[in-house]
Every structure is written in C-alpha cells, then in structure tokens.
Chains A and B, each alone.
Chain A
Amino acid sequence: MEDNAWIFQTVAGVFYVMAGIPLLRLASRSGQAPERILGTTFLLMGISYGFYQAPIIFASLVPHEVPLTVVGRLAYDASVVMIAFFTRGVFRNREAWATGLVCASVVLLVAGLVVSVGYGDWNGYAPLANPGYWLEFTGQVIPCTWIAIEGFLQHRKLQKRVHFGLSDPAVCNRLLLWSLFGAMQLATIVVLVKMNLEYEARGVFSVAMDALEGLFEMLTILMIWLAFFPPRFYRSWVSGRNRTQYAGTD
C-alpha cells in the first residue's frame, strides 16, 4: 500500500478497536457468547490493522516489517475464524454443515499459513509464487461470503416479520447492514488479491486498487457503525421509513 490506503486502514483499525471494546463490555454484563465473539472479532481486526500499518506509519522507528506483518496476518486470520464461529453460533447452531464450514475455513487458513512459511512468503504477499496464498484466501472468503448470504437471507425473513409486527425494523435493518459488512469484507479481500498480484508482477502497488481498498474500508466501518452503534437520526429514519412503508397495509 504505497498510496493512501494506509490512512483508511489506520482509521478502520482504530474504529474496530473502539467497536470491539463496548461489545466485550456488553458480553461481560450479559454473559452471552455472540457479543463476546463479535467483540473479539473487531478487536482482532483492529490489532491486525495496527500491526500491518505500524511499519508504514513509523517507518524510521520500525526497522523490521516482517515480524509485525506476520502478527497482523495471524490476527486477521483469527478474526476470520471468529466470524465463522459467530455465523455458525447465531444463524446455524443446529446444523452439521455449518460446523463443517467452520472447520473447512480453519483448516484452509492454517494450511495456507503453513505452506506460505514453507515458501518463505511470511507476509502473504506472493500469490504467484506461493500456493498457500490461495488456501488462506479461500479460508478468508468462506466466512465473509457466508455472513453476506446469511445476513441477507435473515433480512428477507425479518422484512416479512416486520410487516406482521413480529420484528423490530431496526433489527431487520441491522441484518442488512451485517450482510453488507460481509460483502465489503469480501470486496476488500478480492481487491487485496489484485493488489498483491500486481505487486508481485511489477513491484508496485496499484493506485486504483489502493483507492478502491480505502473506499471499501470506509464503507465497512460505516456498516458496523450504523449496525451496532446507530446514531439517533439513523434509528429515527429506519423507524419512520418502516411506518411509511407499511402504513395502511395488513
């Protein structure tokens, strides 16, 4: 990331830490697993982004990039595993295939890391030379695609429930935002692949991809903010929109 994506990633990293802490506080009060897993996910993402960006921000103070990037990579993969656990636990806790999907994701991530080390690609920046890159990539894509799909399917169901007064419009909207969060995460991962391919082939990061990644990062944190820390105006807008939509029906 030679252009401005590091700025967006740093902002996103700080945001993820700030999003993770209140969810972990909620978990300590409620004792429930979903908030604990989600809080840990965001915290790990924040830590990951911090370790990835530290060598760029503090270039003169941090002479060794690789160890920090490796920690960032491990933290990100751990956050992806948490996403898979969250999705299974919340949406599909009684279905065997969901456990299989979590296991597949974990196996692919671990295998990807091991193979990467075997090929000397500690940073995970070499998709052409390192086949482990693609194992790790698949391990990341599975949970992100999964939350995008589950969130959307659940949103569709809740739309019907809202119509009959069986669900809160705010929760229905939250599921849509959660789905979009998954889609944005997926888009970011795909853009990073394109960036890494170009970097490996030409030795420079694409400015266009850099900008696109920054955009997706910002959209991702927007989704999280509106979903889990919705400001008053947004709550009012969602409720008002729903009242207008279903006025006079049923």
Chain B
Amino acid sequence: MTTTLFDAVAEMLQARTSLDRLQARGTLRLALKVAGLDPSDLSTEQLRVVLEKILPRELETRGVEQAAAICSAVMTDVASSHVAEAADSRASVDEIFSRLGGD
C-alpha cells in the first residue's frame, strides 16, 4: 500500500505529540478542511501553509504544547522525504483549470 503525504504527516504528528493515531489524523484532516484541501491531493506547498497557519492553532486547542515548533519540525521531515515528491507529481483541478483559462 502506498503511503500518501497525508499518511506520512499524520504519523509524524503522532510521533511528536501525545495524540493517538485517530486524533492525529482527525486533527490534520480538520486543518486541511479549513483550507479547502483534500487529504488525497495534498502537495508540499499546500502542506507548508497548513503547518504554518492552521495546524498550530488546531494542536493548541487539543492541549499540545509548542505546537508551532512541532509543525516546523514536521515540515523539515517532509521536505526530505520521498512521499512529498510523489504527491507533487499529480495534476490538480487547480492546475488544469488554470491552463484551460490561459493563465
């Protein structure tokens, strides 16, 4: 089974916090939803914004301390992983409709 960027990040969150697997995945899923993102189509750039602007607040709400530092560490881990490259290779609806409009 292929590991998606979402799966990888959820595992990293679980490892770096006191959240269990379900809580880590659920919190990440909620953060993505706030930004209108799909777990299955997540790119590293999108993830970077979520980790910087949304997830720290979501983690703090769930009692996780030093949330911003954890998110920053997760982003560093993701940047060097192979999962990120796989996620970025797929064309999104965004890209297709941008091309169709001559942007």
**Chain B residues whose CB sits within 8 angstroms of the CB of A145 once the complex forms:** none
Q: Are B36 and A156 in contact (CB under 8 A)?
A: yes
CB of B49 within 8 Å of the partner chain: yes
**Chain B residues whose CB sits within 8 angstroms of the CB of A174 once the complex forms:** 97, 100-101
CB of A210 within 8 Å of the partner chain: no
Q: Are B49 and A165 in contact (CB under 8 A)?
A: yes
- Binary contact track B43-56/A, C-beta < 8 Å → 1, others 0: 00110010001100
Q: Are B35 and A227 in contact (CB under 8 A)?
A: no
How many chain B residues sit at the interface, stated as a range, is 20 to 34
Q: With A and B bound together, what is the CA distance between A228 and B36 in angstroms?
A: 23
Q: Are B94 and A34 in contact (CB under 8 A)?
A: no
Q: Are A34 and B100 in contact (CB under 8 A)?
A: yes
Q: Are A157 and B36 in contact (CB under 8 A)?
A: yes
- Binary contact track A115-132/B, C-beta < 8 Å → 1, others 0: 000000000000000000
Q: Are A164 and B49 in contact (CB under 8 A)?
A: yes
CB of A23 within 8 Å of the partner chain: yes
Q: With A and B bound together, what is the CA distance between A171 and B91 in angstroms?
A: 14
Q: Are B35 and A171 in contact (CB under 8 A)?
A: no
Please pick, from B36, B53, B103, the residue contacting A170 in the complex, using a CB distance under 8 A.
Answer: B103
CB of A244 within 8 Å of the partner chain: no
- The total of chain A residues at the interface (CB under 8 A) is 33
CB of B22 within 8 Å of the partner chain: no
Q: Are B103 and A168 in contact (CB under 8 A)?
A: yes
Please pick, from A38, A159, A164, the residue contacting B53 in the complex, using a CB distance under 8 A.
Answer: A164
Q: Are A229 and B102 in contact (CB under 8 A)?
A: yes
Q: Are A35 and B36 in contact (CB under 8 A)?
A: no
Q: Are B37 and A157 in contact (CB under 8 A)?
A: yes
CB of A94 within 8 Å of the partner chain: yes
Interface residues of A in 87-127 (CB under 8 A from B): 90-91, 94
CB of A197 within 8 Å of the partner chain: no
Q: Are B49 and A166 in contact (CB under 8 A)?
A: yes
Q: Are A171 and B101 in contact (CB under 8 A)?
A: yes
Q: Are B97 and A178 in contact (CB under 8 A)?
A: yes
Q: Are B36 and A32 in contact (CB under 8 A)?
A: no
Q: Are B49 and A91 in contact (CB under 8 A)?
A: no
Q: Are A91 and B93 in contact (CB under 8 A)?
A: yes
- Binary contact track A167-209/B, C-beta < 8 Å → 1, others 0: 1101100110010000000000000000000000000000000
**Chain A residues whose CB sits within 8 angstroms of the CB of B40 once the complex forms:** 94
Q: With A and B bound together, what is the CA distance between A91 and B41 in angstroms?
A: 11
**Chain A residues whose CB sits within 8 angstroms of the CB of B102 once the complex forms:** 26, 228-229
Q: With A and B bound together, what is the CA distance between A35 and B38 in angstroms?
A: 24
CB of A241 within 8 Å of the partner chain: no
How far is the CB of A8 from the nearest CB of chain B, in Å?
A: 25
Q: Are B97 and A164 in contact (CB under 8 A)?
A: no
Q: Are B53 and A250 in contact (CB under 8 A)?
A: yes
CB of B80 within 8 Å of the partner chain: no
Q: Are B97 and A171 in contact (CB under 8 A)?
A: yes
**Chain B residues whose CB sits within 8 angstroms of the CB of A159 once the complex forms:** 36
How far is the CB of A91 from the nearest CB of chain B, in Å?
A: 6
Chain A interface residues (CB < 8 Å from chain B)? 23, 26, 30, 32, 34-35, 38, 90-91, 94, 154, 156-161, 163-168, 170-171, 174-175, 178, 227-230, 250
| 6 smallest beta-carbon distances between A and B, as pairs | A160-B36, A157-B36, A161-B36, A34-B96, A171-B98, A171-B97
